[in-house]
């Protein structure tokens, strides 16, 4: 599976988090999602599981950073797709040295275009651009 496909699957798993607030429910959803992807190589399964878990654990920190730059659009007001895309992209920008910021932004915009509303790509791009200029 290529990086774009992996990223999209991670987005889908993280999106499910918005509907299951108990950690055990979320973990079960991730497990079921990964089972649906069979046959899935162990390397890809491990990568997706670990990255999903890492982003999930950092949601409070990621949301805090997003709240700092999203004037008038705090995370509580954002659409679930946009918020999930932003969390994943911000995680990649801050914690994955192997992912250049431009790539993280471009991939986030593409996911927003595919799963979000008409304004999602520009909204996601704008928030992530603010994050880059603040660093």
Summarised one tens digit per residue, pLDDT across range 18-49 is: 887 677 788 888 888 888 887 889 999 999 99
Pull the structure tokens for residue 131.
């994050």
Q: List the CATH code of the domain at 3-134.
A: 1.10.940.10
The pTM of the full predicted model, rounded to 2 decimals, is 0.92
CA 124 to each of CA 10, 19, 31, 72, 128: distance values in angstroms, whole numbers, following the listed order:
17, 21, 28, 14, 6
Distance CA 50, CA 56 (A): 10
Confidence of residue 123 (pLDDT cuts 50, 70, 90): very high
The region of weakest confidence among 10-19, 24-33, 73-82, 122-131 is: 24-33
Give the pLDDT confidence score for residue 94 in this predicted structure. 94
Residue 134 has pLDDT above 80, yes or no: no
Number of residues in the chain = 135
**How many CB atoms neighbour CB 49 within 10 A?**
17
Cα dihedral 119→83→89→116 (10° resolution):
-40
Q: Domain ranges in the chain? A: 3-134
Give the pLDDT confidence score for residue 135 in this predicted structure. 60
Residue 6 has pLDDT above 80, yes or no: yes
Summarised one tens digit per residue, pLDDT across range 44-74 is: 999 999 999 999 999 999 999 999 998 888 8
Distance CA 56, CA 60 (A): 9
Mean pLDDT of the chain: 91
């Amino acid at each position: 599976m290529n990086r774009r496909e992996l990223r999209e699957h991670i987005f889908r798993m993280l999106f499910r988090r918005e509907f299951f607030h108990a950690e055990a429910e979320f973990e079960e959803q991730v497990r079921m999602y990964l089972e649906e992807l069979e046959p899935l190589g162990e390397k890809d399964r491990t990568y997706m599981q670990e990255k999903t878990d890492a982003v999930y654990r950092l949601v409070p920190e990621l949301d805090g950073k997003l709240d700092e730059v999203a004037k008038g659009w705090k995370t509580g007001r954002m659409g679930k797709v946009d918020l999930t895309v932003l969390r994943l992209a911000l995680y990649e920008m801050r914690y994955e040295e192997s992912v250049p910021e431009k790539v993280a932004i471009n991939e986030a915009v593409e996911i927003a275009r595919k799963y979000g509303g008409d304004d999602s790509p520009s909204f996601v791009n704008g928030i992530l651009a603010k994050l880059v200029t603040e660093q």
